[in-house]
């Protein structure tokens, strides 16, 4: 199972390390290895979030996620995206941006650093919306009930998450954005840039996430209607289920296909893009060579993708029910960190550790819950 799921990651690792040695000697191998570890440590919570979405998709779209999706993640986000950002923010042609990345690495690094406020605002707002949508949703299983219960009640107010996100963006534009960090320790007023990029992140979330939810809900209604048509007007024997129904009488989980799966796939790609921002920016602390950066971060991204599929196939999120909670709290923390880094520099070690601690805590809470259930000492909330 491990070899089948991680086989491509292992193969690409070997190929990438060999390519790094041929490209710039043995020192490059160490750089690529460090970048790989950086990407995996920063994106483990990304794998958990992706798994929660991917498990609802059909086998075909899961394969698309691992093939075409990997190409987008490795070459698109880790190689093309930084060049694209430089071209837009510096008002250069893509060809000129590529030339800078290859021939003038220091200038290229400076331009990427100067573009960080817009990158952080876009990614921060997108991730913040994911966190707010999760924390304001009423759900049966709660991890930190003393926080989640009152917030779920507040979530009954329509558009609350959007209003809060806009408030955060407005505050950021009037505080950290007015003294944004730039290359060489300089600071500049980037209030308008942060506002524009933040609104773009919010609109992207509403558009892609909304379309995905719309088609998914329509698919669920169609499946529910088909199940209702098959219901026999008699009481079902104990232990049997009507096809298309779950054990509690609600609609069964339907593998998402078609347009719903397509927009869900796009949603996954945007999530991956938002998570990759801090990795790409943090990578410049290790190297400004775009080739080594693409190899190292690309290998890490492939491991994250493989880990996502592994979590789905093993049913890990069903066995350890608080993992999704921990991952979403880590997303909320990352969103806040991205916004703060518009002005202040925060070590990638701190960013990675926060995510690891939150997910580790949620995993241990899940283990304790499972032990209580097995011992027959579970609380009512554990049995939900």
Please give the DSSP secondary-structure letter assigned to residue 250. Answer: S
Backbone angles phi, psi at 181, to 5 degrees: -70, 135
**Lowest mean pLDDT: which of 25-29, 241-245, 270-274?**
241-245
**Lowest mean pLDDT: which of 48-52, 102-106, 283-287?**
283-287
Please give the DSSP secondary-structure letter assigned to residue 180. Answer: E
pLDDT confidence bin for 128, thresholds 50/70/90: very high
Measured in residues, the chain has a length of 384
d(CA 265, CA 64): 9
| Whole-number pLDDT of residue 180 | 86
pLDDT score of 125 more than 70: yes
Query: pLDDT above 90 covers what percent of the chain?
Result: 11
| Three-state DSSP state, 241 | coil
Over residues 331-365, the pLDDT tens digits come to 888 889 989 989 888 877 787 788 888 988 999 99
Structural domain boundaries in the chain = 2-230+245-383
Identify the residue with better confidence: 236 or 40: 40
d(CA 38, CA 40): 6
pLDDT score of 164 more than 50: yes
**Lowest mean pLDDT: which of 24-38, 215-229, 277-291?**
215-229
Mean pLDDT value across residues 72-83: 74
36, two tokens: 């790989």
Average pLDDT, the chain: 79
d(CA 370, CA 365): 9
Residue 319: Cβ-neighbour burial (10 angstroms; 0-12, 13-18, 19+) = exposed
Q: What's the first-to-final CA gap in the chain, in angstroms? A: 30
| Whole-number pLDDT of residue 222 | 65
Please give the DSSP secondary-structure letter assigned to residue 205. Answer: I
| Whole-number pLDDT of residue 49 | 82
Handedness of CA 119, 331, 151, 159 (dihedral sign): positive
Residue ranges of alpha helices (H) inside the chain are 2-24, 26-54, 59-66, 68-71, 81-89, 94-103, 105-114, 116-135, 145-154, 160-174, 191-204, 210-229, 258-283, 290-314, 316-319, 323-340, 348-375
pLDDT score of 195 more than 90: yes
Residue 140: Cβ-neighbour burial (10 angstroms; 0-12, 13-18, 19+) = exposed
Concatenating the DSSP letter of every residue in 142-153 gives -SSHHHHHHHHH
| Whole-number pLDDT of residue 220 | 67
| Whole-number pLDDT of residue 251 | 38
pLDDT confidence bin for 141, thresholds 50/70/90: confident
**Contact residues for 188 (Cβ-Cβ < 8 A; gap 6+):** 179, 180, 182
Over residues 298-314, the pLDDT tens digits come to 888 888 888 888 888 88
**Contact residues for 61 (Cβ-Cβ < 8 A; gap 6+):** 256, 257, 261, 262, 264, 265
28, two tokens: 């490059």
pLDDT score of 133 more than 60: yes
| Whole-number pLDDT of residue 245 | 36
Please give the DSSP secondary-structure letter assigned to residue 184. Answer: G
**Contact residues for 95 (Cβ-Cβ < 8 A; gap 6+):** none
121, two tokens: 């605002």
């Amino acid at each position: 199972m491990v070899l089948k799921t991680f086989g491509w990651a292992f193969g690409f690792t070997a190929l990438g390390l060999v390519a790094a040695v041929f490209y710039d000697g043995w020192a490059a191998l160490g750089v690529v290895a460090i970048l790989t570890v950086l990407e995996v440590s920063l994106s483990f919570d990304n794998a958990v979030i992706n798994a929660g979405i991917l498990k609802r998709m059909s086998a075909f779209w899961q394969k698309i996620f691992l093939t075409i999706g990997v190409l987008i993640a490795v070459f698109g986000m880790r190689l093309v995206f930084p060049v694209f950002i430089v071209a837009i923010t510096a008002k250069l042609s893509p060809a000129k941006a590529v030339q800078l990345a290859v021939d003038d690495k220091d200038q290229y690094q400076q331009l990427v650093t100067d573009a960080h406020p817009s990158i952080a605002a876009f990614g921060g707002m997108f991730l913040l919306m994911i966190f707010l949508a999760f924390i304001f949703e009423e759900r049966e299983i709660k991890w930190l009930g003393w926080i989640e219960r009152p917030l779920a009640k507040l979530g009954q107010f329509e558009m609350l998450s959007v209003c809060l996100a806009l408030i955060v963006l407005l505050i950021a534009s009037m505080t950290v954005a007015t003294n944004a960090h730039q290359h060489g320790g300089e600071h500049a007023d980037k209030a308008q840039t942060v506002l524009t990029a933040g609104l773009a992140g919010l609109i992207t979330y509403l558009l892609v996430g909304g379309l995905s939810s719309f088609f998914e809900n329509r698919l669920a209604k169609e499946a529910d209607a088909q199940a209702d048509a098959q219901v026999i007007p008699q009481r079902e024997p104990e232990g049997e289920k009507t096809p298309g129904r779950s054990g509690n009488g609600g609609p069964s989980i339907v593998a998402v296909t078609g347009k719903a799966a397509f927009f869900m796939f796009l949603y996954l790609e945007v999530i991956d893009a938002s998570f990759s921002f801090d990795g790409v920016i943090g990578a410049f602390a290790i190297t400004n060579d775009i080739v080594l950066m693409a190899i190292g971060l690309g290998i890490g991204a492939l491991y994250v993708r493989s880990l996502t599929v592994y979590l789905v196939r093993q049913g890990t999120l069903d066995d350890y029910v608080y993992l999704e909670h921990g991952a979403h709290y880590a997303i909320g923390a990352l969103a806040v960190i991205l916004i703060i880094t518009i002005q202040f520099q925060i070590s990638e070690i701190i960013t990675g550790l926060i995510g690891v601690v939150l997910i580790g805590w949620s995993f241990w809470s899940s283990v304790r819950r499972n032990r209580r259930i097995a011992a027959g000492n579970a609380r009512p909330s554990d049995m939900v």
